[in-house]
Amino acid sequence: MARKAKEEQPRKQGVDPNVMGLRGETIDQPITDTLERNFMPYAMSVIVSRAIPEIDGFKPSHRKLLYCMYKMGLLNGARTKSANIVGQTMHYNPHGDAAIYETMVRLTADNQALNTPFVDSKGNFGKVYSRDMAYAASRYTEAKLAPICAELFRDIDKDTVDFVPNYDNSTTEPTLLPTSFPNVLVSANLGIAVGMASQICGFNLAEVCQSTIELIKNPDHDVLTTMPAPDFPTGGEIVYDPGAMAEIYRTGRGSFPVRARWRYVEKDHIIEIYQIPYTTTVEAILDKCRDLVKDGKIKEISDMRDETDLGGLKLAIDVKRGTDPDRLMAKLFRLTPLQDNYPCNFNILIAGSPQVLGVREILTEWIAWRTECVRRRVYFDMARKKEKLHLLEGLKAILLDIDRAIAIIRETESEAEVVPNLMIGFGIDQAQAEYVAEIRLRNINREYILKRTEETASLAGEIRDLEDTLKNRRRLRSIITDELRAVMKKYPSPRRTGLVYAREVEEYGEAEDAVEDYPVHLFLSRHGYFKKITPQSLRMSGEQKYKEDDGLGWYFEATNTAELLLFTDRQLAYKLRAGDFADTKASALGDYLPVKLGMEQGETILGAVLCGDYSDTLLLFFQNGKCARLPLAAYATKTNRKKLTGAYSEKSPLAALLALPEEREIAVTTAEGRCVVFSSAQLAPKTSRTTQGVQVVTVKKHPVVKAAFLQDTAIQNPGRYRVRTLPAAGAKLTDADRGEEQMTFI
**What are the pLDDT digits (tens) for 662-709?**
999 999 999 988 999 999 999 988 888 889 999 999 988 889 999 999
For residue 79, the model assigns a pLDDT of 95
656 in a structural domain: yes
For residue 384, the domain's CATH number is 1.10.268.10
**pLDDT for residue 403 is more than 90:** no
Say if residue 392 is in the same domain as residue 466: yes
Lowest mean pLDDT: which of 10-24, 166-180, 337-351, 587-601?
10-24
Say if residue 102 is in the same domain as residue 168: yes
Q: What does the pLDDT look like over 122-162, one tens digit per residue?
A: 999 999 999 888 899 999 999 999 999 999 999 999 999 99
**pLDDT for residue 382 is more than 50:** yes
Helix (H) or strand (E) holding 489, with range, is helix 473-490
For residue 320, the model assigns a pLDDT of 87
For CA atoms 428, 434, 436, 437, the dihedral sign is positive
For residue 272, the domain's CATH number is 3.30.1360.40
Say if residue 32 is in the same domain as residue 147: no
For residue 20, the model assigns a pLDDT of 45
**pLDDT for residue 380 is more than 90:** yes
Q: What is the pTM of this model?
A: 0.65
For residue 68, the model assigns a pLDDT of 95
Mean pLDDT of 328-346: 92
Strands (E), 544-598: 552-559, 563-568, 573-577, 591-592
Q: Specify the amino acid at residue 678.
A: F
450 in a structural domain: yes
Mean pLDDT, rounded, of the chain: 86
For residue 11, the model assigns a pLDDT of 43
Say if residue 28 is in the same domain as residue 63: no
Specify whether 140 is catalytic.
yes
Q: What does the pLDDT look like over 63-103, one tens digit per residue?
A: 999 999 999 999 998 999 999 999 999 999 888 889 999 99
The conformational region for residue 14 under phi > 0 = left, psi -120 to 50 = alpha, else beta, is left
- Residues 626/694, Cβ–Cβ less than 8 Å: yes
84 in a structural domain: yes
Q: Percentage of residues in the chain with pLDDT exceeding 70?
A: 91
Say if residue 480 is in the same domain as residue 530: no
For residue 261, the model assigns a pLDDT of 95
- Residues 737/708, Cβ–Cβ less than 8 Å: no
Split at pLDDT 50, 70, 90, the class of 10 is: very low
Sheet holding 119-122: strands in order across? Answer: 80-81, 142-145, 119-122
**pLDDT for residue 165 is more than 50:** yes
Say if residue 586 is in the same domain as residue 647: yes
CA distance 374 to 492: 24
89 in a structural domain: yes
**pLDDT for residue 14 is more than 70:** no
**pLDDT for residue 718 is more than 80:** yes
Split at pLDDT 50, 70, 90, the class of 640 is: low
Domain assignment of residue 12, given as a range: 2-40
CA distance 201 to 507: 24
Say if residue 323 is in the same domain as residue 399: no
Say if residue 457 is in the same domain as residue 571: no
For residue 514, the model assigns a pLDDT of 53
**pLDDT for residue 515 is more than 70:** no
Q: Which residues of 299-309 are buried (b: 16+ CB within 10 A; e: fewer)?
A: ebbeebebebe
Cα torsion at 89, 95, 96, 101 (round to 10°)? -50
Say if residue 553 is in the same domain as residue 652: yes
Split at pLDDT 50, 70, 90, the class of 23 is: low
**pLDDT for residue 316 is more than 90:** yes
Mean pLDDT of 614-629: 92
497 in a structural domain: no
Among the listed residues 42, 67, 140, 167, the single catalytic one is: 140
240 in a structural domain: no
For residue 435, the model assigns a pLDDT of 82
Helix (H) or strand (E) holding 670, with range, is strand 665-670
For residue 271, the model assigns a pLDDT of 94
**pLDDT for residue 15 is more than 70:** no
- Residue 518 backbone phi and psi in degrees, to 5: -160, 160
Cα torsion at 702, 706, 708, 711 (round to 10°)? -80
- Residues 290/335, Cβ–Cβ less than 8 Å: no
Q: What does the pLDDT look like over 429-471, one tens digit per residue?
A: 888 888 877 777 776 776 777 777 778 888 888 999 999 999 9
389 in a structural domain: yes
Q: Percentage of residues in the chain with pLDDT exceeding 90?
A: 51
For residue 50, the model assigns a pLDDT of 66
Inter-CA distances, 684 with 201, 636, 696, Å: 47, 21, 11
Inter-CA distances, 594 with 574, 577, 604, Å: 10, 15, 8
234 in a structural domain: no
Contacts of 633 (CB under 8 A, 6+ apart): 614, 615
For residue 49, the 8-state DSSP code is I
For residue 503, the model assigns a pLDDT of 75
Inter-CA distances, 525 with 264, 537, 549, 607, 609, Å: 43, 19, 10, 11, 14
Contacts of 26 (CB under 8 A, 6+ apart): none
For residue 743, the model assigns a pLDDT of 44
Mean pLDDT of 301-318: 91
Give the three-class secondary structure for 626. strand
Mean pLDDT of 47-70: 87
**pLDDT for residue 8 is more than 60:** no
The conformational region for residue 48 under phi > 0 = left, psi -120 to 50 = alpha, else beta, is alpha
The separation between the first and the last C-alpha atoms of the chain, rounded to the nearest angstrom, is: 91
Identify which has the larger pLDDT, 319 or 402. 319
Q: What does the pLDDT look like over 197-244, one tens digit per residue?
A: 899 999 999 999 999 999 999 999 999 999 999 999 999 999 999 899
Say if residue 426 is in the same domain as residue 540: no
Mean pLDDT of 328-344: 92
Say if residue 610 is in the same domain as residue 729: yes
For residue 133, the domain's CATH number is 3.90.199.10
Structural domains counted in the chain: 5
For residue 691, the 8-state DSSP code is -
Q: What does the pLDDT look like over 561-571, one tens digit per residue?
A: 888 999 999 99
Say if residue 156 is in the same domain as residue 111: yes
